[in-house]
Structure 1
Amino acid sequence: MAIILNLETATTNCSVSVSKNNEILCLKENNAADYSHSEQLHLFIKEALQEASLSFSDLDAIAISKGPGSYTGLRIGVSSAKGLCFSLDLPLISIPTLESMAHKVDLKEGEVVIPVLDARRMEVYSCVFDHRYQEIRETRAEIIDENSFGDYFSFPKVHIIGSGAEKCQQVLHAPNYNFDTSVVPSAKEMASLAYHKFLHKDFEDVAYFEPYYLKDFVLQTKKKS
């Protein structure tokens, strides 16, 4: 048996779940555009444990959504996860953000899902998974144009999901494409992935683990008038 605390802060959705093996015991989340993770994350952790009738001493591992995603969001989540692992002497499990997003779609044989997270301008972070949720194209930061994801034009259905789907919808018009801009990463889908890694003792080195930023952080500054 494994009790795992799952943390998702890679995007606007601040999400926390407590899971027992593959079962979600409690889920707390809020998708706010103002990135309120620093105020909400630790409150959600406390509330999730209380609602699951558990304490920190009951936990067997901490799982964190590793990115790609928001630089600030990832830093907050990873820092919190590492702090808990150090203080509680627990193993750290990392879950690729786009992989957990893929599991939000119920896929039929032959279909693919492409989770896309909004980056700057016409750029997105993306990855491609088949109907078994196996990665068939690696994670990339890419500029979206009419030729994007051309290798998948012949598939029965291509699900393009996430905050970057709106950009894709502007330029991709194949009839087999299905767009869903409402999908956000959640700690709910992390549970089964984290449990699988727990069983295989696929843990991170807590001291050296860093989020998967994919791109260098660029500080945005206001232009002088």
Structure 2
Amino acid sequence: MEYILNIETATKNCSVALAKEGKTILCKEIAEEGYSHAERLHVFIEEIITEAEITVNDLAAIAVSQGPGSYTGLRIGVSAAKGLSYALDIPLIAVDTLKTLASQVVVTDGLIVPMIDARRMEVYSAIFTPNLESKREIIAEIITEGSFSDLEETIYFVGDCSEKCKAVLNRENFIFLDEIKYPSAKDMSLLSFEKYKTGDTVDVAYFEPYYLKDFLITTSKK
């Protein structure tokens, strides 16, 4: 049996899930205003391994959310994942954070736009089909009244920035699924297993999260 430990820390949600053959069997997570990832992450990992009555040596791979998202959150999650992968000599799998968020939407039509809050009216976003095929790459953008106006399909928005975006994204074909706020490790299970089966892994020594650092560069005043 292939057990994969999934770690998701890209947002306020500190989340860990254990999956077997691509199905989540245990998940522990907490979303707090004050990031508690450094305190909670390793506790969750230990609790899940204990409750599943396995040992870390039973793990076939470690999967981690690769971003975009919180710089600190991603750094904590990736550091833990790389440490486990290296110590256990098992593969490290990187999973797209926005794809994990989009996977929570169950629809048969339209397009899914997962968004992660950056600052002010800025977000990290992508566009997926209901089958999670990418229709547009991940970008950092400022949301305006004209955002996504070129899309005529029904657009389902999910993420932790719905409240601030609703004020400007108010076209008839825009639907906000407020109940889907954060990516969760439990929704990484199938995505990471599919990558595991095809050998889609990353180099533990050189892997870095997708910070989108260039988005934070500002132009100096003259």
Question: Do Structure 1 and Structure 2 share a fold, with TM-score over 0.5?
Answer: yes
Instruction: Give secondary structure in 2 for the equivalent of 1:76.
Output: helix
SS in 2 for 1:80: helix
User: How far apart in 2 are the matches of 1:64 and 1:149?
Assistant: 29
Match of 1:201 in 2: 199
Pairwise CA distance, 1:33:
1.1
Alignment partners' CA distance in 2, 1:151 and 1:135: 17
Partner of residue 9, structure 1: 9
Q: Is the 2:65–2:95 Cα contact (8 Å) retained in structure 1?
A: yes
Contact 2:115 2:123 in 1 (8 A): yes
Say which SS state the counterpart of residue 57 (structure 1) adopts. Answer: helix
Name the structure 2 match of 1:38.
38
Q: How many residue pairs were aligned?
A: 216
**1:191 is matched with which residue: 186, 189, 192?**
189
Q: Mapping of 1:122-137 within 5 angstroms?
A: 122-137=121-136
Runs of 4+ in 1 over 4 A off after TM superposition: 216-219
Q: Which runs of 5+ in 2 are unaligned?
A: 218-222
Q: CA RMSD in A?
A: 1.4
Cα distance change on mapping 1:24 and 1:7 into 2, 3 Å: same
Separation of aligned partners in 1, 2:2 and 2:81? 17
SS of the equivalent of 1:213 reads coil
Q: Structure 1: how far apart are the matches of 2:175 and 2:55?
A: 42
Q: In the alignment, which residue of structure 1 is the partner of 2:162?
A: 165
Residue 60 of structure 1: SS of its match in structure 2?
strand
Deviation at 1:181? Answer: 3.9
| Aligned residue type for 2:102 | A
TM-score (normalizing by structure 2): 0.94
SS for the counterpart of 1:43 is helix
- The one-letter amino acid paired with 1:124 is V
Report percent identity of matched pairs. 50
Q: TM-score under structure 1 normalisation? A: 0.93
Cα deviation, residue 217, structure 1: 8.3
Q: How far apart in 2 are the matches of 1:123 and 1:180?
A: 19
Q: What is the one-letter code of the residue matched to 2:195? A: K
- Of residues 156, 159, 176 in structure 2, which corresponds to 1:179? 176
TM alignment of 1:90-169, pairs within 5 A: 90-108=90-108, 110-152=109-151, 154-155=152-153, 157-169=154-166
> Aligned letter for 2:40?
Q
